Structure formats: C-alpha cells, structure tokens
Amino acid sequence: MKRYLTAILIGLSGIIIVIGIGLDLYWSGIVSWGLAIILLLFAAYYTKYIPNEKNSKE
C-alpha cells in the first residue's frame, strides 16, 4: 500500500488546488496551496517505498 501513496498524494494535492481555486472565499487560495505543499512533501517521503527494478534483478 505504501508504494501507491506517492501517486495518491500527488492526485489529492491537484484536487485540493482545483477546489481551492474554484472556491472564492477569503484565504482559500493560501490554504489550498499550503495543503498541497504538505501533501507533496509527504509524497516525496513515500517515494522510498517504490520498488526499484534494477536492485530487484540482482
């Protein structure tokens, strides 16, 4: 499951940005970009669980 978290978190950050831009509320843009950056940081963290094909063949 951890190997799919990178793709899931990147997708969620995109969805949050689209929703945040679509809402015309005060601070919604800043909050949506802040949440997107946090999700992208977590996505970068979970890239270490993606299997590497070069190492598994050896």
Distance CA 14, CA 9 (A): 9
Mean pLDDT over 2-30 rounds to 90
**Model-level pTM?**
0.79
Locus of tokens 């949506």: 32
Q: How far apart are CA 10 and CA 55, in angstroms?
A: 25
Question: Which element (helix H / strand E) includes 14?
Answer: helix 5-22
Q: Is the dihedral of CA 23, 29, 33, 34 positive or negative?
A: negative
pLDDT number for residue 3 = 80
Domain assignment of residue 10, given as a range: 2-48
Residue 44 within a domain: yes
Structure tokens at 18: 């689209």
Confidence of residue 55 (pLDDT cuts 50, 70, 90): low
Tell me whether residue 56 is in a domain: no
- Considering the domain boundaries, does residue 57 fall inside one? no
Q: Is residue 55 one of the residues assigned to a domain?
A: no
